[in-house]
Structure formats: structure tokens, C-alpha cells
Structure 1
């Protein structure tokens, strides 16, 4: 729930409505509370100062991403959306890639220590994540900003890697000059630390020191770019407060943190790679179709909120979409709009077109549709399908094919499933397993065949010609 202090921060003088509208659309990023984008702010006692800064001049904001995988995932998407809103409002965005902090490991919201990653993999991950982020910012500029009536030119995001400043820091100087600014009692009191200290696995000094490094990152960005704002997930509040305290003690000036709500799956689990439920933002790890289908499966109770969080559609347009959805919920109009917008942002026009084509194939049982895509695309559409490369042999029957790709454990199981009508080739039920495979019917013009056994067991054959 959005806090009352954020609501107060957004309140404007009704006598100055014209300026209020200008600030709403261009500078005062706090209008995003209407979309449920912010969970909390820090420090809460500086409401007037935050509002004045945002209204009077462009500000600088950053968010950090540690390279613990070779792609960001849908759980990171809300932070990127928030950064894009800052950019649209005329502010300078900084993306920090944790080449150094990724070697330490953020203990926030974890019960065990992260697996150590070697430097070569970290560098590869950084390059991949950088590509994720640059693609999304470019897709936004091409597909969402060019139609904006505002002639304002977007400021390009600044991408930095914190290894660039840590590699030149002497450890003694760092502990003496930075470490002395932190009080041990305060550090131990952080909820992320307490959770780990009370667990069976405990906590290493390496992870315990993470909050110092994230705090110093912010100090470095403040000194170099006058970066006064940091955003992060709700689990980052402790690290954000550490950064605020370090900067205020070092410079005597205030900085501000804003946290975003964590997006969870059904059952309340945080989306992330460690839970095995991640949808990746890189097309090499999750196809545009997978991302599209992820949002198509959004529950009706969540779709209004997701449209506000993950699209740039105006609130009155979202209201109209939801009203239309409520009239015919079975058509999933709102989910389709959500999936289109997110896929276009993450994968661009080509990715969206591929996702829509794959979706049509999933629900269209025609040979023509199956003939239009490749074997690899079939594997993507029919998730979990096995793929085989086979030569075309004269006289091969439907039964021969089933046994060649091991659809059945033995002849007895084959006879049982065939008798029950559970064997399909290219969406057609096989009544006579002795029929010979025929081009155009069993072997499609793209030299593929889709076999299904039961309801969900798919096999894709690539014929060698």
C-alpha cells in the first residue's frame, strides 16, 4: 500500500494548477504513486525538500544490478520501468552494474550465501545484462516515445560498472575512511542481516560487508554525478539507508531513496532465477513467446495492477481496457494488451510479431499454421517438446515413427494409447497406425512433423533431406 507521506508529497497547490500539470507530466516523478509504483520513501521527514527538488530541476537517479546471471528477468522489469519513467520526466538515469558487488553477494531476501562466480563469468554476465538494458531503452525510444507529442529529447542513460572504482582503492584506506562511518550495532540491526544471523547457515563477513559497498557506490555517484536518488525493490531499503547515512556523514547533504513493490508469483514467492520460475529478458534464455504467454496468463485480479506497473498507457485508457475486459473476461482483452506492450518493450517489433505468430499457432490447429514456422519455433511454442533429426525412409508408417522417437515404452503401451485415440500427427488423430507417412499431410512443406502423445507430450521431427 502506498504510504500517506507519498500521497502528501504529490499534493499540489490548487491555485497553481497550470504549473502542477506541467510538473506532473515532466518532473514530479511522484505522480507514479497513482500507478502503485512506489512502496516507500526515505527519509520520510524531508517531504518538502524532495518535492522541491523534483519540481524545480532535473535530478539524477540510479539503480543497481548485480551480474549473478547472464540476463535480467521479469522480476527486474519494474525497476527498469521506473527508470524509464524518470527518463521520460526529463531526469538523468544511471544504471550501475555490479562487477565488484557481484563478487560479494547481496544477502537481502536470501537464506543462504550466493554461489561464488568467477571473474570471467561475471564479465560475460555484465555484457549480457548491459545488452538487456540497452535493448529495452532503445525499444522504448523507438516504440513508445516517438509517438509522444512532447518534443522533449530523452537523456541517454549512463551505464557504469563499480569495479572501475574499486579496482583502484587501497583496502586499508577504504576501511579507515569509509568503514569508520558505519556503526556495528546499526549494521547488525538490518533485517537482512538479522534473518541470516538467526538462520542455520549464519552469515559470512563477505556478505555482511555488502551494505558498505552499496553505500559507497552511491557516494561515488553522488560525488561524480550529483546523484541524489536511488531506487530499488522493497528488500533494498536497508542498503539504501546505509547509503543515505554514509553520504550525509561524509558530505553533510541529503539524498533520498524510493523502494518499489516486489512482484510475486501465485503463493507470494518473489520472481527470481533462484526459485526456478524466472522468465528472462534475454531472447537467448526466454523467447518473446514465453514472455508474451507469461503476461497472457496474468490473473484477472492482477491485470489492472500490471497494466499500471508494466505499461505506459494512461490511467484513463487502462480503466477503459478493464471495463471492456469485465464485459467479456473470457476473451482476456486486458491480458493481451498487457502482453503486447511488455513484449514490444523487451523484444521490439520483431519479437512481438514472432510471439503473436507463435500464439496463433498454439491455438490454431491447421496444417498451414504449422508449416509457417521452423522446428526450433515449434519447440518454443510447444514447451518441453523433444526434437529429433530423422532421415525420410520410404514406407515409414505412423507407428514406425512413434517407436523410432520412443513415444511408447513398449508395444503393449502403444496399443493401449493408440486404441484410446491418444496419438496425433500434426494435430490429426491417428486412427490407422499402419498408414504411410505422406508429404503435405504427415511431413509438412517446412520438412517438420509435430507429434503429440496424450495431452501435453510433444515431439518435433526435423526431416533430413
Structure 2
């Protein structure tokens, strides 16, 4: 198998599976669920309506949400009808975290984030055809509801003993922080969402992370009590790395799907750095590659891991899905050029700058000696070390070897920046003031 070009896998259901349920199980997307045989039959039958909710507790969705977005898309490709819910009301409350109370955001902030998240969710769904997606906001049915009506019509169906057993609530009750009535009530609001969507759209399935299982079953239980019917829920696994570290973080920071918060270049590098032990599972969850294609990459990981073919394909597919093929082409070109396999002068200025932001970097005045820039960027610890490195032929500036220590930095690359290299792989960016 050759290194992939910029042709990505089509978004489609793998026809080698008898049922979309079988495919999502093979991809490892079902950690917990309601009755599996009933779900398999439901997804194999006539189109159903299903939903996933996203709370605006930040200005962007992150990689954990990407699992849900792609699951929504897979089920839609199988013919089912998705509802993308952005929680204008639940975002004002906040799902209980295991350790401490959330800081409540202002109504204005939540409304702004609702719009941002709505736009992000819409990019992953199709709004055309017989199974066109629909976006909903739970503020539409909770805002008109009085406290008395909420308690009489919804609250009466909940038992406090059952609510106390939910994992997130139990964790908080056993912590020093305790839990407020506000966050304690969150599971009722999410249950109300499922009930309302069942009544309005005959919604039969909710998906979410397995850490949300208590909230997911809040809805299935409420519908069973109020309407006397059985609906379903799927809890996807929380993605973790094989070494036990948390997936979706880079140097302690969340990986966002908003290009302004995590640049496409940083996003690409995150996927490219996936460990061999994790890359096949990532291909299953985050790409539309077929089972046969993924099995080929598994063989390559086993026999030729040094080629990192699976990581390159993973990075290509996910970045193209999230940021588009043009941005993907730009970051691949930047990545290759920075490491000596392309033309630095041909790069897109914005992409080059975002790539240099991920490297050690410094801002200097035009005409600054290279020896000073080497120290400023941290590539060397002293001027004498900088001069020795240059004398040994181990320093390059903007792709050209630095011949002597009188050379200066001029910012000749697109966007008025420069790239310093010491040795083969140690790079730094230089911005001109």
C-alpha cells in the first residue's frame, strides 16, 4: 500500500456488514446500551429518528464530541434521521462534573456559544433528502415551562433514591464540594429533552458518552413511565490511550475542532503522533475507512511500523473531515517542508505561522545575527555554542546552510518569518518585530 495522497475515504457505511449496528460494534462505539438485540433490529428496520445533545459549556466542541458527531453521521448514512441538539437550557446549568461545581456562564455567553456549536454540528450532517437532519435547542421547550409545571409534570416521575445513585451525583456527594440542587436537577432536564423529542419527532434513540449513562437512562426511564413505551440509548466508550493517559489532550490542553482554538497544523500533528498501539482503534472510530482498508493498515503497523502509514492516513482523514481538504493539503505541505521534504517559500503564510507557533520560537528585530536568534529560540544555550554549531555546518536558516556566524535573520519566508534548524530535526521559528 503506497503512502496515501489527498484522496480521502468516502463517507459511507461499509457494505460488508449486515447492519449498521454490527459496524458500530466492530468500530468499538458501543460501550453500554439498552437491549442490544432490540437495538440491532431497530437499526435494521425502517428509518428512525435519533439524537445527541451538545451543551455550550465552551465556545467549541472537542475531540470527545467528535466521536458523537461521527456516530450521528454513520447512523444517518444508514438511512436514519438525526436530530442535533444544542443545549441552550442545559448549558445554563451544566452537567455535574465529578469533582467540583461548574461556574455558571451568563445567558449572553451561552447564547453565543449555542450559535457557535450549532454551526459546528451542522457541518457533520446532511440537511437534504428523506432523512435530512434537523437542529433543535432545548431552550425552546424549557423556557416557557414554569417551575410549578416542571415539578408537577416532570419532577413527580423521579425518585430521589435513584437520582442519588447516578455516578456523577454519587461522586460529588462523596466529595468535599458536595452538589447543588441546580446540578442535581440536570438529569431531569436531560430526561425532559428525550421525552420532548419523542413527542415531537417520535425520537427513539439517544447517543452519548458512557460517562453520561445516568443522564441517558434518565430519558429512557421517563419516557417509559410517562408514555409506556421503550426507547433506547447507546453510550460510547471514553477514548483512552494504551499507556493510560487521557486521549484528546496535548500538553494538558484540550484539542478543539475550532481552527481558531487548535490550529489545523497542531490538529494534524496530534493525530500524526498517535502511538502504534492506538492507531488502528483510532482509524475505526474517527475515519470512514472500510474494515478491509483498516485491516491492511493493521498489517503495515505490524510489519513496517517505521513508515507510520497508518498514522499518516489517520491524520489525513480526520483533518480533512474537520477542516476540509484545502486546509489539510496546506498543513501536510508545511509539515513536509519544515522537515526538509518541500519548499518553505511556497507555503501558505497563515499555515506556516501557525506551524511555527507549535515550535520553540522567538521574536527578534530584522537583521538580528543568527547566533543571537539561536540563543533566543533555545536551540543553543550560549553564543559560543551557537558559533560552534555554525562552524560545524549544523545550522540552516530558511532551508539554506548558514556558512558563517555573521549571517543575519531577515524573515524571507512567506509572512515575514524565518525557520532555524540545528541538526536534522531540531527546529525553531523566528518572528520579526
TM-score bin (small chain): 0.7 to 0.9
TM-score, length-scaled by structure 2: 0.86
Question: Which stretches in structure 1 are left out of the alignment for 5+ residues?
Answer: 1-20, 142-151
Contact 2:224–2:230 under 8 Å retained in 1 = yes
| 1:249 pairs with 2:225 | yes
Q: Deviations over 1:71-90 (max 9, x none)?
A: 11112111111111110110
| 1:53 pairs with 2:42 | yes
Residues 172, 335 of structure 1: alpha-carbon distance in 2 compared, 3 angstrom cutoff: same
Root mean square deviation, CA, Å: 3.1
Distance in structure 2 (CA, Å) of the matches to 1:256 and 1:436? 66
Distance in structure 2 (CA, Å) of the matches to 1:55 and 1:194? 37
Q: Map 1:58-457 onto structure 2 (within 5 A).
A: 58-108=47-97, 110-137=98-125, 153=129, 155-265=131-241, 267-271=243-247, 276-364=252-340, 369-382=343-356, 383-386=358-361, 388=363, 390=365, 392=366, 397-399=369-371, 406-407=376-377, 413-421=382-390, 424-428=396-400, 430=402, 432-435=404-407, 443-444=412-413, 447-451=416-420
Q: Report SS of the residue matched to 1:283.
A: coil
Contact 1:372–1:446 under 8 Å retained in 2 = no
Q: More helix by proportion, 1 or 2?
A: 1
Contact 2:57–2:110 under 8 Å retained in 1 = yes
Contact 2:52–2:83 under 8 Å retained in 1 = yes
Distance in structure 2 (CA, Å) of the matches to 1:443 and 1:234? 51
Distance in structure 2 (CA, Å) of the matches to 1:78 and 1:217? 21
Distance in structure 2 (CA, Å) of the matches to 1:224 and 1:22? 32
Distance in structure 2 (CA, Å) of the matches to 1:337 and 1:453? 29
Larger radius of gyration: 1
Question: Which stretches in structure 2 are left out of the alignment for 5+ residues?
Answer: 1-13
C-alpha deviation, 1:344, in angstroms? 1.5
Q: Report SS of the residue matched to 1:418.
A: helix
Distance in structure 2 (CA, Å) of the matches to 1:174 and 1:198? 28
Matched length: 415
Distance in structure 2 (CA, Å) of the matches to 1:350 and 1:159? 27
Residues 400, 186 of structure 1: alpha-carbon distance in 2 compared, 3 angstrom cutoff: closer
Q: Find the counterpart in structure 2 of residue 29 from structure 1.
A: 21
